[in-house]
Every structure is written in C-alpha cells, then in structure tokens.
C-alpha cells in the first residue's frame, strides 16, 4: 500500500441543534469553545494526518477554522457518523477515519493513537472503539453508555441501561465498561454503515453503533489507556469545569 493510502483523518462531527444541549460545540470550557478543545486534542495525536470538522452551522465552522481545522459543511444527517461519512467518503488516500465526537473535549491524544494502533494490528476489523472501567456508582446513569464484549474483544451490546444486569453484584462490577465517544472506521465499513437505515435498537437507545451490531457488523472494543469525560448536558460541562479547577495548581 502506498503511503498516501495510509492517511488517518480525525473527523469531528459538530451540530448546533443538540436536543439536550443546543449550541454545545461553542459552549465554553476553561474559556474556550468545546470544539476548539476537540480540534487541539486531535491534532496532538501522533497518528493523525489531518483534522476535519464536519458541521451544518456557520458559527461552528468559523470557530473550527480559526482553531486550525479543515471545515466541511454538511447537510442534515441522521447521526454523527453519517455526517463524518458525508465529509470523507468522497476523498481518496485515507486508510482510517477517526470519528471523534465533539462532546469529548478532554479526549487524550494517547487514546486516539491507541485506537489507530489497534486497528492497524487487526486489519480484518472495519470498526473499532474504546472503553474504560466504569464507576459502579454510574451504572444507572443513562448518559454513561455501557458496553459488554465477547472473549475476542468484539462488542456484544451497548446500552444506556445497566449492562450487565447486576444479578450477582460482585461479578457484574468487574464487567462494567464505559464506552468512550470515539470510533475508527475503514472506508468499506463506513460506506456500508451509512448505507443502512437507522435500526430499531438504534432508535430505542439513541445509540448509532447499534445499527452496526443489528446488521451483523463487528465492532472491536479496545481498552483506552486514559480516561475521558463526555459532555452531554450543561450539568456535565459544569462538573468538568469543577474537575479542571480542582486539578489546577
């Protein structure tokens, strides 16, 4: 494979009209819009060759461009991955696209590099993502998406409900994993995914990755080396501000 066909693109889908948090990409964290944090973190990853922000909003586009990202304007999309696909499938030369959710402003560059390395180590994998151990106190939090894996690390299911159900609390707690909002796609897998209509389980849980599982597509779930902090609501953002404030000298 030519080097030009091995490019890794970090694509950040960012829409203005979030139901739970309108205008979230431009909400301020430590004095800067969240989308700026995401662009900066993606650019810090050693394996990333280009950073793209895919958005349907001119305000987000202007801020992202000023932060150094390439901006691709998109139309109305069913999910973040559909938005990423609209931005990158027409491009030649890339091997892997990292779908970096715009609500993960503290994603570690090390996590992005680990995802790329994991995909390159398993070339048969078309989709991969990351997880971390989950605090049992958050197992009933619907904003903390849980994942369970098979013995080979492939996803069995993702849910906003407790997963696995703690019939035996001690055993269940050892299996709690928090899904992080980052995906890696190879071209064929991305094209196949977005060609599928939203699935019943995807609509029921509002989790786009279930579209892949319902249609027999494998998702490799790798362990993230560093924690992250997803921002789904204004309350999440306020908590992250508090955490950052406590960590400052």
- What pLDDT is stored for residue 246 in this prediction? 55
- What pLDDT is stored for residue 231 in this prediction? 77
CA distances from 214 to 124, 155, 193, 197, 208 (A): 19, 11, 11, 11, 10
Q: Quote the CA–CA distance of 14 and 193 in Å, as a whole number.
A: 19
- In three-state secondary structure terms, 245 is helix
- What pLDDT is stored for residue 5 in this prediction? 60
Burial grade of 223 (CB within 10 A; 0-12, 13-18, 19 or more): middle
- What pLDDT is stored for residue 101 in this prediction? 86
User: Is residue 237 a contact partner of residue 29, using CB atoms and an 8 Å limit?
Assistant: yes
Domain count, the chain: 1
0.75 exceeded by pTM: yes
Residue identified by tokens 């078309």 is 126
- What pLDDT is stored for residue 89 in this prediction? 94
Per-residue pLDDT of the chain in tens (249 residues, 90 and over written 9)? 334 468 999 999 988 767 667 788 888 888 888 899 999 999 999 999 999 999 999 999 999 999 999 999 988 887 889 999 999 999 888 999 999 988 888 889 999 999 999 999 999 999 999 999 999 999 999 989 999 999 999 999 999 999 999 888 888 888 999 999 899 999 999 999 999 999 999 999 999 999 999 999 999 999 999 988 877 777 878 887 787 775 443
The residue segments making up the domain with residue 44 are 3-247
What tens digit of pLDDT does each residue of 131-165 get?
A: 999 999 999 999 899 999 999 999 999 999 999 99
- In three-state secondary structure terms, 71 is strand
CATH number reported for the structural domain that contains residue 243 in this entry: 3.90.550.10
């Amino acid at each position: 494979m030519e080097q030009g066909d091995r490019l890794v693109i970090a694509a950040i889908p960012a829409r203005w009209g979030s139901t739970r948090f309108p205008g979230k990409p431009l909400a301020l964290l430590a004095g800067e819009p969240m989308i700026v944090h995401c662009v900066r973190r993606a650019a810090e990853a050693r394996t990333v060759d280009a950073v793209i922000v895919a958005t349907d909003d001119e305000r987000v586009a202007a801020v992202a461009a000023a932060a150094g990202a390439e901006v691709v304007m998109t139309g109305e999309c069913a999910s973040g991955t559909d938005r990423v696909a609209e931005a990158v499938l027409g491009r030649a030369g890339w091997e892997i696209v990292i779908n970096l959710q715009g609500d993960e402003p503290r994603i570690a560059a090390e996590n992005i590099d680990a995802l790329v390395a994991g995909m390159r180590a398993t070339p048969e994998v078309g989709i991969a993502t990351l997880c971390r151990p989950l605090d049992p106190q958050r197992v009933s939090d619907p904003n903390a998406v849980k994942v369970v894996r098979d013995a080979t690390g492939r996803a069995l299911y993702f849910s906003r409900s407790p997963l696995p159900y703690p019939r035996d609390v001690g055993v269940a707690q050892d299996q709690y994993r928090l899904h992080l909002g980052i995906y890696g796609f190879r071209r064929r897998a991305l094209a196949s995914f977005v060609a599928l209509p939203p699935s019943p389980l995807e609509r029921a849980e509002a989790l786009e990755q279930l579209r892949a599982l319902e249609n027999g597509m494998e998702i490799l779930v790798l362990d993230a080396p560093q924690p992250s902090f997803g921002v789904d609501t204004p309350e999440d953002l306020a908590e992250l501000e508090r955490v950052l404030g406590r960590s400052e000298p």
